[in-house]
Homo-oligomer: A and B are copies of this chain.
Amino acid sequence: MDARKRQVLEALIDDYIATAEPVGSRTLAKKYGLGVSPATIRNEMADLEDLGFLEQPHTSAGRVPSDKGYRYYVDEIMRPLVLDLAERQRIRQAYQVRVRELHWFIHQTARLVSELTLYPSLVVAPPVEQAALTDLSFVPLGQDTVLMVLKTSTGMVENQTLLVPEEFDSDKLKSLAEDFTQEFRGLAIHDLKNRILDPLQGDVKRYPELWQLALKWVTGHDGDEDKVSLAGPLNILNYPEFRDVDKVRRVLGFLEKETAVELASRYYAEGVQVVIGAESSLDDIQDCSLVTATYRVGGSVVGHLMVLGPRRMHYNRVIGIVEAVSDELSRVLHG
């Protein structure tokens, strides 16, 4: 893998990313200043194909990068694009208005990323289920409704309206909230739910009224709702590889399913990860690549951010954007 091969590979991938057409030796020689003739490039391309970096759709077409080719490009050749001023500003301003509302953060992030990258983007919120309870209070709303406000160790706030017996007045609720916080503080939400649902724990007897309320919460609470935000799915339609409606259905279907969330969480390692084509071993997105990033609150990874595009994705640009956004998000979440 000498320098010229790398040059050829880079030029070819750049061209293919831009045009979506198989790239021939003549094109490469003409458009990119490689200083050699098409014939020479042909030889290099044949070598690159032997090495597994390129593929030929058919004998007399140009070449197309293989998964392995993209992988080499991403790992060894390309460098993340530095965003221009306007884009950096846009990212900085995106989070200025509101505060502390989980679903707003992820919604905003997903939109921001998909608008900047022109690809669909999925943002997975901090898994509330795993965060620990830090504080809980009840706010009376009407004579039989109450707002339950729950704070977690990841700094997020969750609200949920509950129906309560009428005899729960303001003072009663206050003392119940204190009991609840006292008893359960520090427990992960997930464990807390299990404990509430388990009659053997004895909570039923010790706090009959509180337990009744808590049960309403658990049964009414859909842990997954609002935790994922998808933006810009239609962007996918702008790329010629998605001319086929069946393909569109598979890919967008994937984004709407649980699989996408799972996959995002699978790449748990800090920082930006790239998954190219078949590397995901998911049939539905064989022809797609993913760029995922994590964001943090107080040093630990709490959520994921994912961009999905065709295999010939603008990796350098997307990686640059995803890095910038996840950094900014971590920053504002920390503050």
A249 to B248, CA, bound (A): 11
Q: What chain B residues lie within 8 Å of A157 (beta carbons)?
A: 141, 147, 161
Q: What chain B residues lie within 8 Å of A220 (beta carbons)?
A: 97-99
Q: What chain B residues lie within 8 Å of A141 (beta carbons)?
A: 100, 149, 151, 157
Closest to A238 in B: B249
Which residues in chain A, 207-256, are within 8 Å of chain B measured between CB atoms? 219-220, 225, 233-234, 237-238, 242-245, 248-249, 252-253, 256
Which residues in chain A, 91-105, are within 8 Å of chain B measured between CB atoms? 97-101, 104
Which residues in chain A, 256-297, are within 8 Å of chain B measured between CB atoms? 256
A39 within 8 A of B: no
The interface residues of chain A, by DSSP majority, are classed as mixed
Number of residues in A with C-beta < 8 Å to the partner?
37
A252 to B232, CA, bound (A): 11
Asked whether, in the complex, the Cβ of B145 is within 8 Å of the Cβ of A99, the reply is yes
Q: What chain B residues lie within 8 Å of A252 (beta carbons)?
A: 234, 237
A162 within 8 A of B: yes
A137 to B145, CA, bound (A): 14
Copies of this chain, count: 2
Which residues in chain A, 71-124, are within 8 Å of chain B measured between CB atoms? 97-101, 104, 107
Asked whether, in the complex, the Cβ of B237 is within 8 Å of the Cβ of A248, the reply is yes
Which residue of B99, B234, B249, B256 is within 8 Å of A249 (Cβ)?
A: B234
Closest to A137 in B: B139
Which residues in chain A, 132-190, are within 8 Å of chain B measured between CB atoms? 137, 139, 141-142, 145, 147, 149, 151, 157, 159-163
Q: What chain B residues lie within 8 Å of A238 (beta carbons)?
A: 249
Which residue of B101, B107, B139, B248 is within 8 Å of A161 (Cβ)?
A: B101
Asked whether, in the complex, the Cβ of B162 is within 8 Å of the Cβ of A99, the reply is yes
Closest to A151 in B: B141
By a beta-carbon cutoff of 8 Å, the part of chain A in contact with chain B is: 97-101, 104, 107, 137, 139, 141-142, 145, 147, 149, 151, 157, 159-163, 219-220, 225, 233-234, 237-238, 242-245, 248-249, 252-253, 256
